[in-house]
Amino acid sequence: MDISFWNQWNPDIKITHTQKKFYGKYLYKIVLHVPGGRLTQFKGSMKKLLADRINYEKFYNSSLFEKISDLENVKIELLETIRSIKNNHSDSIHIRVEEPHVQIYGSDILELEELICNNLFSFNKDIVLSLTHPKDKKSEDVLNSGAILKKEPNGYKYKVILRDGMYGKEVKEQLLNYFISLGNEQIKITAGMKRNLKSNSGYIWNVFYYTNDPNINHFVSLIAPGIIANCHEMVIL
């Protein structure tokens, strides 16, 4: 892939390679520096939204406001531009805000280049912090197959992601006992997963495991129907 556009836009841009499709759909991610980016999620006058936000944080955070807030550096026009991009291109891109960053996801690099060029040309070029893209055509084909790219093998062929949700403490105990009974040769569960399944809460969140036998997923689904969110083959390139 030709990344000359991005290097010319910001010579200091950070370039990384996509290891797994974002949200199971997108090949590319652009990260922008946009203080106050959460305001783009709301309707109404951006100037009023910003004033209300500043007053709210000053009231609740008082002396900590200067340390935890970047709102004094907000650019109203930039926020309005990001909101316009979000509203006008929701069918082809996805925008996620983690202040002070705005992440733009898409699967058409030419569309993303056009978005940046047409909408952000008048702003400082260094607001575009990073680009993540498939390394080459072979990597893109593997990603489009639903697989995850790995630099080094970890001894397992599949990564299985469980769907976040409320399953109940008894179901979590059954899952943990089943996983432990399989042994390390068939499955690998992380320390974080063990803590989650042992917790008193009935919720499961951010849980995944590695396995060489995808048939295990069938028995996991019998314990908790619908819990398997994705099963990704891991490919070493």
| Distance set, CA 147 to CA 1, 42, 94, 130, 188 (Å) | 20, 36, 21, 23, 18
What are the domain boundaries of the chain?
A: 4-136, 148-236
> pLDDT class for 67, splitting at 50, 70, 90?
very low
CA distance 188 to 175: 13
The pLDDT of residue 44: 94
pLDDT over threshold 80, residue 230: yes
Q: At what angle do helices 169-182 and 191-198 cross, to 10 degrees?
A: 140
Q: Which of 52-61, 64-73, 95-104 comes out lowest in average pLDDT? A: 64-73
pLDDT over threshold 60, residue 168: yes
CA distance 153 to 233: 12
The pLDDT of residue 61: 67
pLDDT over threshold 60, residue 68: no
CA distance 10 to 44: 32
Q: Which two tokens stand for residue 189?
A: 């569960």
pLDDT over threshold 50, residue 30: yes
pLDDT over threshold 80, residue 97: yes
> pLDDT class for 63, splitting at 50, 70, 90?
low
Question: Which residue from 122, 121, 130, 41 is spatially nearest to 79, judged by alpha carbons?
Answer: 41
> pLDDT class for 1, splitting at 50, 70, 90?
confident
Is residue 112 a contact partner of residue 6, using CB atoms and an 8 Å limit? no
Q: Is 91 helix (H, G, I), strand (E, B) or coil?
A: coil
